[in-house]
Amino acid sequence: MHERGLQLPKVVGQQHDFLMVAIDTGNFILAYEEDLEEGLGSEYERLWVEDVPLVLASDASVVLRRERFGGILYGFKRGIFLNQEAFDLVRSFVVATRPSLALKQVLKEGGLSEITKGFVEAAGHLILYLIAEGYLRPSQEGLESKALFLDDQHFSDDRYYRPLSMEIELTNRCYRRCAYCAYESGPEPKIPLREELTFDEWGYILDSIRKEGVFYLEFTGGDPLSRPDGLEIIRLADELGFSVQVNTDLSVLRDSDLDKIASTKNLNFVGTTLDGSSPDSHDLLRGKGGFKTTLRQISLIAKAGIPLAVFTVVHKKNYTEIRKIGEIATQNNAMYGIAPMYPAGRGASLNHLVLSQEEWDFAVGEYMDMVRLGAIKPHQRLWYKLSRELRSENPARDQIWLTSRGNRALRVDPRGNVYVSAKLREWRPRYSFFGNLLTSTLADIWENSPLLQELRKIPVQPNFFDAVDIRTIPNYTSEIPLADGSASQHG
């Protein structure tokens, strides 16, 4: 059953730069800092006078995916959430169609009897925006778009049709052995090399999940570049049309890799970690020489024109350096993001460095102030909106203890096993395995895994991430150490 009207999903931090668009009889709902063009000028007039047939772009990255609230249009490293009326309008252009006919089709499906001026203006705004962004292109009538269109009725209130994104751990190998690594990556990987999926096995998985409507992949590890065929697997994902993000320590980045990365058509950005503004703070938990290497490598990436995001894992020894680290990111034309260290994996032994809530509030306050002043470019555009709002409370409060419920994203380990987060795997192992993508389809895991369904039913405390506070999940197999030296009382 599909909803009509202005309903749209809640905007949360892990949704990758989605624009929110809802139309009825002239209304737009827009999230983030940007608006569609307000003026109805000559282009708007020509749209209806010339009434040229338009079709969804046949670019491999374009996906049109139906959802309970309407649908998602994704392509060119950007996504749009559409309410039912907006989705019906976009769906009309899967086959080359004149805008006037598209409007009539939307009215018919919505059970409306007449075209109002407000509706025409709202639809015209959206069509012109989609033309400007490359989603819609002039075409001969009858030519069909190659855009993926899923007309499936298996919808649920507690999840999207398929994940919005998937994190792909190509390997557990990493040049460094960071003291806080939740995945226990390093030169001697926890998952033996012989147990990693082969190139062909990853190819099978990527092809299958693409056919199921997944559009965003975050390649991680370990360090995906430490795998000899890592860039070839990323290139394959790019050719399949995925929007890709590559997280790497940069220690093993070679000059010859830069051209390969730069040629990745659907690259969202390369992400790396800078944990301090000096060797003392950065190398403390990441290893000697890391600061010098990271600065050299991010400079090379910046000069190559490759989009870059710098992230800081925030702990007690660096939370006062957010401004200085952000300045380094800006100097290298990089986006900047922060996340708190949490006690999982090797980080479980560093409880004394886990931030108190007051320290995390301070770090987020510094970050939001820099966004507000234009001193940094946040890695997620939602922070522009959040930084403009007058808030008495940290919007990312309790993030140290929050975990996804498996309703928006999934992770895949080097063996092909599907799970949600390192926090759950560490402190709630009941929810550490939902299936393997070599032996089960994504659809089967996503829709039918009893444990995933159980996890989604856990009550969510109101928070920016629409996530579960792991401390509230009962029946831990072990206690979670808290920053004040005490432990979770669930047992």
Give the CA count within 13 Å in the CB-facing half-sphere of 5. 3
**Alpha-carbon gap, residue 101 to 104, rounded angstroms:** 5
Q: Where in the chain is the domain with CATH 3.90.930.70?
A: 18-150
449-485 tens-digit pLDDT: 999 999 999 888 766 667 888 888 875 555 555 444 4
Residue (of 286, 329, 279, 289) closest to 309 by Cα position: 329
Alpha-carbon torsion, ordered 222, 225, 229, 232, to 10 deg: 120
**How many other CB atoms sit within 10 Å of the CB of residue 374?**
10
Range(s) within the chain of domains with CATH label 3.20.20.70: 165-472
489 half-sphere exposure, CB direction, 13 A CA radius: 0
Q: Report the amino acid identity of residue 372.
A: R
Q: Would you state the pLDDT for residue 391?
A: 61
The C-alpha atoms of residue 482 and residue 85 are separated, in whole angstroms, by: 47
DSSP designation for 66: E
Determine the 3-state secondary structure of 198 from DSSP. coil
The residue whose two tokens read 């109002």 is 116
Rounded mean pLDDT for each run of 10 residues along the chain, 491 residues in total: 49 54 57 47 86 90 90 90 88 92 83 71 87 88 64 79 95 96 94 96 98 95 96 98 96 94 96 98 97 97 96 98 98 97 94 95 95 94 78 76 91 98 91 97 97 91 76 64 45 34
b/e 72-109 (16+ beta carbons within 10 angstroms → b)? bbbbebbbbbbbbbbbbbbbbbbebbbbeebbeebbeb
Is 219 within 8 Å of 244 (Cβ atoms)? yes
Contact 397, 437 (CB under 8 A): no
Nearest CA-CA partner of 447 in 122, 158, 203: 158
Strand 409-412 to 417-419 pairing? antiparallel
Q: What topology does CATH give the domain 18-150?
A: Outer Surface Protein A; domain 3 (3.90.930)
HSE (CB half, 13 Å, CA atoms) of 140?
1
CATH superfamily of 165-472: Aldolase class I (3.20.20.70)
CA atoms within 13 A on the CB side of 92: 23
User: Are the C-beta atoms of 142 and 95 separated by less than 8 Å?
Assistant: yes
Q: How many residues would you count in the chain? A: 491
What separation in angstroms does the CA of 343 have from each of 22, 102, 306, 310?
41, 53, 33, 22
Contact 279, 291 (CB under 8 A): yes
What's the confidence (pLDDT) of residue 10? 53
- 485 token code pair: 């030296």
Three-state secondary-structure class, residue 427 = helix
Q: pLDDT for 307-317, tens place per residue?
A: 999 999 999 99
